[in-house]
Amino acid sequence: MIGPNDLARMIWPDIDMLYPAKFVKRKFIPDFAGFEGTLCQISAMDDLIAARMQMAVSLGFHIVFACIGMTMPILMAFSEWKWLRTGRQEFMDVAKAWSKGVAIFFAVGAVSGTVLSFELGLLFPGFMEHAGPIIGMPFSWEGTAFFVEAIALGVFLYGWNRLNKWVHWISGVVVGISGVLSGIFVVSANAWMNSPTGFTWKDGKASNIDPVKAMFNDAWLSQALHMTLAAFVATSFAVAGVHAFLLIKNRNNRFHRTAVRLALSFGAVAALLQPISGDFSAKDIAKRQPAKLAALEALYKTSKPASLVIGGLPNDKEERVEYAIHIPGFLSFLAHGDFEAEVTGLDKFPKDERPPVMITHIAFQVMVASGFLLALAGLLFLVFSAWWKPLLYRKGWLMFVALLTPLGFIAVEAGWTVTEVGRQPWIIYGVMKTKDAVSPMPGLQYSFYTISTVYLLLTGLLIWLMRRQIATVPMIYPSAAPESDLNLKTDSSVKTGTVVPGNK
Amino acid sequence: MLSIIIIILGVSFILYTLLGGADFGAGIVETFAGPRGTKAISKAIAPVWEANHVWLILAIVILFSAFPLVYSTISTALHIPLMIVLLGIVIRGSSFTFRHYDVTHDNTHKYYTLAFKISSFITPFFLGITLGAMIFGEITLGSPVSFFEGFIKPWLNLFCITMGLFSTALFGYIAAVFMIGETSYPLEQKRYRRYSKMFLLAIIVTGLLVFIAAEVQGHHLVSAFFKSWLSITAMGLVALITLLIFYFFNHPVIRLLRIAVAIQVSLIMLGWFAIQFPVLVFEKNGNHLTFYNTQAPYATLYQLVIALFIGLILIIPSFYFLFRVFKKPKEQKEVI
Ligand code: HDD
Ligand code: HEM
Ligand code: HEM
């Protein structure tokens, strides 16, 4: 029989090496003897694994809503602005339709965020006890930003008919700005975990705390930039994908055409900037977290020059990467801007301070691959809209965009996996290990099962609900109704079906 | 610095009880008010519940930045009730929003409503249990104890359960009073007046139960109460205001009634605060956690005060604006 622990090992192959069982198994005096025995048998999953998995599930869930909350208000405000400027119905309809989806996602984002702010303590009290006073400041700024965001969103969602148009529009802009700011503040707290500064650590206690310095730590800028762009890429492509999918069936629908175009223009720009910002991040971690860089590149031995490993399966036992493509010298260049530079490998770190290579490396490949594919899509979009507009509504292109729907979010999840798993075994890099921070409560796996079940159900429900909402769109919004489809016979710039890709 | 933080913490806690309480209580009241109430309640709390909810987040952030040991202690020892509170928050928030926005009306709405109601009862109940456990003094951390003693006994006892009942009644009461002003049909108003009285009675009964349970379990709340002049004054005022409220119930003074209830609830909490000041968490071994022995370093408190201060400057006017916009009664047909 496969127990939960074996499952965890399948996902996390290096778990045993990182966390020898003697740390993980906590002894407590059994008091309901019989029950206790069975409890231990069925709950073979270690508490530490359970806590980490629960954190990962909760964050992986929340981040989706966070990205939507950072991006959609800006897209909506942009669409409303176009409507205010041009007076064209479809812009107003798109903004309104989006705002309803956003209301639902925002609520789930808010409650899952609340869960997180408790979970940090429920699962890692040892961490929060010391980190709280140091990174409390970004969290309190974040709280302020949430507040403004929640209030402005209330005004925006319920004020369509009650407010002056421009006041309404400004409330949308305020939602967008505070959403992005709150994202940046939390990320700065996470960046501090990667690059802890602003305190002195002595005898297991922090002193000389400087919250401002802690907030503006070395990793702050690169992470905040990369994350904000990621939110725009992921959300815009997902939104565009859904509308593109609906366009395939009816390519003349004014509403969906507008929506795809709006969303893709944001997504394309962000997707093109993303690899540049990613390169900036990589150079940054080469300096501050060489073990993470080594793990994500699966570089077992310190090399000079170091070659870039693309794809492949890391083999920890033999310390090499199988089935990979190697590009000599390129990693040296990416990490240090010099083809001859030395890149630190995992061999420079004791075995118990190395992050899990397999997960980190694969997640990194997934993120970068998605990143380049999305950047390519963004480039094509920009080129098409500048020179070959008709191509934008061809079936092939729409299918391509529809297929990209989940890709941005996959990249976001993968990217966070790189960051978080790549930091292991540290919870505060170089200062505190994760195993020393975890809650002493036995049976944490039950929290994990419960939360995962609830989130799984919620995800299913949300997808179902969105489909239900989308089904009502043609009935609610004039520009989405079949009557207002573009009349292609008279519109010479758009020809469906007959345009050959080669006719430049 | 510390005193400013304590005040802001107290204020955000009271505001969460009042505003968040009205939202949670709405689900409790809805159980009594039936389908008719569903519509009025959805309309009343939809625009504001998320913003109201942020007061809780603010309180938590203050707790872990300024009194980290308190945060880590309760989240360890009270893991189970807090986890239930969280599940309640998640289920309630999502089911409410789904119900509000799902434009297709069919059987699913029944399930949304069911989930909404159940979680609206569970969350305040376990919030009350959590608070009760902080006062009760059975928390033992550090020394090796059995699972039961360490993680269950601190909160699963008569006293905490009466606290849970008390806070459920309190939230229901706040919501019932709030709803009086949210409907313009006299008949409906009368109904909510009736519920308010009912819940007020429930508060008095469960409040007494709390004190009795405390005595039974050897936690001498009554004597602690008589030692603090602030709590005695607060409770005296509460008694006066309660009389006044009974008078208001039978008169068309909705705004005055709301204000009186807000003062009443704040005074109850102030009285409570005075009894246990400066202790935040009572521990079994006598090493109680207080505002003083758990406070974060000065630099943190200072930055926190700045952040909160700027925050409040931004938040209070916008809150006012939000409530203003939605209190303007205006008949309209809109898609949202
Ligand atoms: C749409 C999402 C997306 C896309 C297309 C990319 N990334 Fe990314 N990446 C993220 C989303 C993301 C993220 C989820 O937002 C992370 C996690 C933590 C962070 O700050 O950003 C991240 C982290 C992250 C890190 C670790 C930073 C750290 O730990 O401080 C590196 C080195 C890169 N990325 C590099 C890249 C490169 C070279 C890309 C090339 C195309 C790339 N990313 C595309
Ligand atoms: C600012 C935001 C974040 C903070 C403060 C944060 C904090 C934490 C903490 C305290 C842990 C547990 C300790 C550890 O395992 O090191 C953790 C683990 C983890 N988090 Fe994050 N996190 C953040 C963002 C994210 C996001 C958005 C994701 C998205 C997927 C994520 C994914 C994970 C994963 C996969 C783990 C488990 C790593 C492991 O234990 O190997 N994190 N995070
Ligand atoms: C990289 C990670 C994160 C990002 C980018 C992020 C961003 C956001 C954003 C934009 C929102 C606004 C709500 C929405 O739009 O749905 C939000 C909500 C929230 N987040 Fe996160 N968050 C992250 C991680 C965390 C963590 C680690 C915590 C906990 C400590 C947290 C706590 C919250 C809370 C409490 C809310 C609800 C606020 C409200 O009611 O509006 N977030 N987050």
Task: Tell me how far apart the alpha carbons of residues B19 and B271 are, in angstroms, rounded to a whole number.
Answer: 19
Q: Which two tokens stand for residue B118?
A: 């159940």
pLDDT one-digit tens code per residue, A411-440: 999 999 999 888 888 888 888 888 888 877
Q: Which two tokens stand for residue A438?
A: 């975890």
Instruction: Specify the higher pLDDT residue, B54 or A462.
Output: A462
Residue nearest to atom 40 of ligand 2 (CA): A52
Q: Given the structure tokens 């008709």, which residue do they identify?
A: A390
Task: Tell me how far apart the alpha carbons of residues A403 and A381 are, in angstroms, rounded to a whole number.
Answer: 15
- Between the CA of A190 and the centroid of ligand 1 the distance, in Å, is 14
Å between B13 CA and nearest CA of chain A: 15
Q: Give the residue from B134, B171, B123 showing the smallest Cα distance to B22.
A: B171
pLDDT of residue A207: 74
Q: Which two tokens stand for residue B274?
A: 């005075």
Q: Cβ separation of A144 and B62 shorter than 8 Å?
A: no
CA distances from B111 to B116, B117, B120 (A): 8, 10, 14
pLDDT of residue A398: 86
pLDDT of residue A499: 38
pLDDT of residue B330: 45
Instruction: Specify the higher pLDDT residue, A268 or B215.
Output: A268
Q: Is B5 exposed, middle or buried, given 0-12, 13-18 or 19+ CB atoms closer than 10 A? A: buried
Nearest to B318 among A128, A151, A161 (CB): A151
CA distances from B5 to A118, A296, A302, A303, B267 (A): 20, 43, 50, 53, 19
Sign of CA dihedral A238, A230, A450, B51: negative
pLDDT of residue A482: 66
Pocket lined around ligand 1, Cβ cut-off 6 Å: A 187, 194, 219, 223, 226-227, 230, 233-234, 274-275, 278-279, 281-282, 285, 367-368, 370-372, 374, 408, 411-412, 415-416, 418-419
pLDDT one-digit tens code per residue, B31-54: 887 777 777 788 777 777 777 787
Packing angle of the helix pair B108-136, B21-45 (nearest 10 deg):
160
pLDDT-based confidence at residue A270 (cuts at 50, 70, 90)? very high
Q: What is the mean pLDDT of chain B?
A: 82
Q: How many CB atoms lie within 10 A of CB A16?
A: 12
pLDDT of residue A14: 42
Task: Tell me how far apart the alpha carbons of residues A300 and A282 are, in angstroms, rounded to a whole number.
Answer: 17
Q: What percent of chain A has pLDDT over 70?
A: 85
Residue nearest to atom 5 of ligand 2 (CA): A190
B96 Cβ neighbours under 8 A, 6+ residues apart: A107, B27, B42, B45, B46, B49, B112, B116
Q: Which ligand is nearest to the CA of A419?
A: 1
Q: What percent of chain B has pLDDT over 90?
A: 10
Evaluate if residue A29 carries a pLDDT over 60. no
CB B254 within 8 A of CB B180: yes
Task: Tell me how far apart the alpha carbons of residues B174 and B24 are, in angstroms, rounded to a whole number.
Answer: 9
CB A373 within 8 A of CB A406: no
Question: In a mutational test of the pocket of ligand 2, which residue from A59, A70, A129, A367 has the highest number of ligand atoms less than 8 Å from its CB?
Answer: A59
Mean pLDDT, residues A312-326: 73
Mean pLDDT, residues A208-213: 79
**What distance lies between CA A287 and its chain's CA centroid?**
23
pLDDT-based confidence at residue A197 (cuts at 50, 70, 90)? confident
Q: Is B51 in the pocket of ligand 3 (CB under 6 A)?
A: no
Evaluate if residue A354 carries a pLDDT over 70. yes
Instruction: Kindly tell me the number of DSSP H helices and DSSP E strands found in chain A.
Output: 18, 8
Q: Cβ separation of A128 and B318 shorter than 8 Å?
A: no
Q: Is B86 in the pocket of ligand 3 (CB under 6 A)?
A: no
Q: Cβ separation of B64 and A108 shorter than 8 Å?
A: no
Q: Across the strands, what pairs with A200?
A: A207
Q: Is A302 exposed, middle or buried, given 0-12, 13-18 or 19+ CB atoms closer than 10 A? A: middle
DSSP letter at A353 equals G
pLDDT of residue A45: 56
Query: Any idea which of A2-6, A343-347, A427-431 has the lowest mean pLDDT?
Result: A2-6
pLDDT-based confidence at residue A485 (cuts at 50, 70, 90)? low
* Rounded (5°) CA angle A78-A242-A261: 40
pLDDT of residue A375: 93
pLDDT-based confidence at residue A486 (cuts at 50, 70, 90)? low
Mean pLDDT, residues A225-250: 90
pTM of the model as a whole = 0.85
pLDDT of residue A481: 67
Task: Tell me how far apart the alpha carbons of residues A68 and A106 are, in angstroms, rounded to a whole number.
Answer: 8
pLDDT one-digit tens code per residue, B203-252: 889 988 988 888 888 777 777 777 777 888 888 888 888 888 888 877 77
pLDDT one-digit tens code per residue, B291-307: 887 888 888 888 888 88
Evaluate if residue B192 carries a pLDDT over 80. yes
Strand (E) or helix (H) holding A327: strand A325-327
Q: How many CB atoms lie within 10 A of CB B103?
A: 13
Evaluate if residue A209 carries a pLDDT over 50. yes
pLDDT of residue B143: 61
pLDDT one-digit tens code per residue, B131-178: 988 888 778 776 666 777 778 888 888 888 999 999 999 998 888 888
Nearest to B299 among A96, A125, A211 (CB): A211
Task: Tell me how far apart the alpha carbons of residues B55 and B51 are, in angstroms, rounded to a whole number.
Answer: 8
- Between the CA of A56 and the centroid of ligand 2 the distance, in Å, is 6
Evaluate if residue A238 carries a pLDDT over 60. yes
Å between B319 CA and nearest CA of chain A: 6
Mean pLDDT, residues A243-272: 86
pLDDT one-digit tens code per residue, A134-148: 888 888 888 888 888
Mean pLDDT, residues B76-83: 89
CB A295 within 8 A of CB A357: yes
Q: Is A343 in the pocket of ligand 2 (CB under 6 A)?
A: no
Packing angle of the helix pair A47-86, A220-249 (nearest 10 deg):
60
Give the pairing type, strands A426-428 and A432-433: antiparallel
pLDDT-based confidence at residue A370 (cuts at 50, 70, 90)? very high
Mean pLDDT, residues B258-270: 86
Q: What is the mean pLDDT of chain A?
A: 79
pLDDT of residue B328: 56
Task: Tell me how far apart the alpha carbons of residues A229 and A25 are, in angstroms, rounded to a whole number.
Answer: 41
Q: Cβ separation of A136 and B58 shorter than 8 Å?
A: no
Q: Which ligand is nearest to the CA of A227?
A: 1
pLDDT-based confidence at residue A6 (cuts at 50, 70, 90)? low
Which residue type does A440 have?
P
Q: Is B34 exposed, middle or buried, given 0-12, 13-18 or 19+ CB atoms closer than 10 A? A: exposed
Q: Which two tokens stand for residue A284?
A: 């940054």
Instruction: Specify the higher pLDDT residue, A170 or B34.
Output: A170
